[in-house]
Structure 1
Amino acid sequence: MATPYVLVLYYSRHGKTAAMAQHIARGVEHISGIEARLRTVPEVSANCDASEPSVPDDGAVYCNMDDLKHCHGLVLGSPTRFGNMAAPLKYFLDSTSSLWLTGALIDKPAGVFTASSSLHGGQESTLLTMAMPLLHHGMVFAGLPYREAELLTTDAGGTPYGASHWSGTEGQRPLTEAETALCQAQGKRVATLALRLAADQQHSTKNAPGDSL
């Protein structure tokens, strides 16, 4: 039987969101019995002549529908674009209607994360825009609870809606200890919920009344 996995799906232009994804994946893999699967999405462009290679030159490979369909949990990440998710990630999510029609993601846990160059650059609204399609898919949204002490002490990123990072106007700011801890906490939480929800579903299926003979 294949090992269950949490899909860490992100778009990253300058590497900051990708760095967060790595820490979230480490958090997932702190939990026994589940692994992290890192995936990204290709660029989109109004220039019809522009095309992306079928496989990225480096970093995570591109996500496909099977990666999403068979995940046990999802953590979705994007840089902030005017208080919204970046177009490449939105474009990918807009292509998931077939999974919505079949209910493939219903009752699976999901979380979101983001990075912005300015401290008040729309991080929380970006997280909320990423949450909306997940709710339409019937996923169980998992934020960051205030038991994570870093939420109360961070002087950079970090929200109850999901992990975030303030990268600075030149992208020069590395992830702080608090931001890193919150990324890993988010990975751990989604992984833990994924295993619990999957076990509950298996138990319910096993104990469902059968046809009487």
Structure 2
Amino acid sequence: MSEPYILVLYYSRHGSTSEMARHIARGVEMAGMEARLRTVPAISTECEAVAPDIPASGALYATLDDLRHCAGLAMGSPTRFGNMAAPLKYFLDGTSSLWLGGELVGKPAAVFTSTASLHGGQETTLLSMLLPLMHHGMLVTGLPYSESALLDTRGGGTPYGASHHAGADGKRELDQHEITLCRALGQRLANTAKALGGQRG
């Protein structure tokens, strides 16, 4: 059996969420676990995939097996009207077979998001992503206030998960507090997975 890994699953439109994913993956690795970066394809308004089978660059598309065999999950999305983006929701809607088999029950999960505006629904988006994970029986891993960056941040950062204020043009880079919180979330998730045995399905 191969080594346990944390799946860092995300959808990113302009790059901010994928940058957060890389920092979360770095935190996972700092805690001594493998991080597996995966994304989901864009979809059309008719809810059909509109992307090639293999992305031209960046992370590969996630499969149900990536999710089935992970020791823990970090899931990220840009904010869309206070909710997760449709491509990520579309992927999650296809995980019924994992739910029926209870294959994610007891695994730790964490969430992250990026918004254009400072008050653009970061917390509601994080909570919207947690709902299907709780239906899968996953264990929520947030960010405690023992993380001092959570008290000092002027951009993103919540106890529900990591967040980033990308600006109206989506080009504002992560600040040091946001990076610190992303890495802390990755470390916390990996350490929780290890404490739970880090077993894969």
Task: State TM-score, norm by structure 1.
Answer: 0.91
Corresponding residue for residue 19 of structure 2: 19
Corresponding residue for residue 132 of structure 2: 133
After TM superposition, give the deviation of residue 48 of structure 1 in Å: 7.9
Query: Unaligned 5+ residue runs, structure 1?
Result: 203-213
Corresponding residue for residue 88 of structure 2: 89
1:96-175 correspondence runs (5 A):
96-175=95-174
Structure 2 distance, partners of 1:186, 1:154, is: 15
Q: Deviations over 1:38-79 (max 9, x none)?
A: 000001102589731100000000000000000000000000
Q: Do residues 196 (structure 1) and 195 (structure 2) align?
A: yes
Structure 2 distance, partners of 1:50, 1:36, is: 26
Q: CA 1:197–1:43 in structure 2 vs 1: closer, same or farther (change >3 Å)?
A: same
Structure 1 distance, partners of 2:169, 2:134, is: 34
Corresponding residue for residue 39 of structure 2: 40
Q: Do residues 79 (structure 1) and 113 (structure 2) align?
A: no
Q: Deviations over 1:110-146 (max 9, x none)?
A: 0000000000000000000000000000000010001
8 A contact 2:117–2:168 mirrored in 1: yes
Query: Which consecutive segments of 4 or more residues in structure 1 shift more than 6 A?
Result: none
Q: CA 1:64–1:48 in structure 2 vs 1: closer, same or farther (change >3 Å)?
A: closer
Corresponding residue for residue 179 of structure 2: 180
After TM superposition, give the deviation of residue 173 of structure 1 in Å: 1.2
Q: CA 1:177–1:50 in structure 2 vs 1: closer, same or farther (change >3 Å)?
A: closer
Task: State TM-score, norm by structure 2.
Answer: 0.96
Letter in structure 1 aligned against 2:54: V
Q: Deviations over 1:79-114 (max 9, x none)?
A: 000000000000000000000000000000000000
Which protein is bigger by CA-based radius of gyration?
A: 1
After TM superposition, give the deviation of residue 31 of structure 1 in Å: 1.4
- Tell me how many residue pairs correspond in the alignment: 200
After TM superposition, give the deviation of residue 172 of structure 1 in Å: 2.5
Structure 1 distance, partners of 2:73, 2:150, is: 22
Higher relative contact order (CA 8 A, sep 6+): 2
Structure 1 distance, partners of 2:107, 2:49, is: 35
Structure 2 distance, partners of 1:126, 1:114, is: 7
Structure 1 distance, partners of 2:49, 2:196, is: 42
Question: Structure 1 vs Structure 2: percent identity of aligned residues?
Answer: 62
Superposition RMSD in Å: 1.5
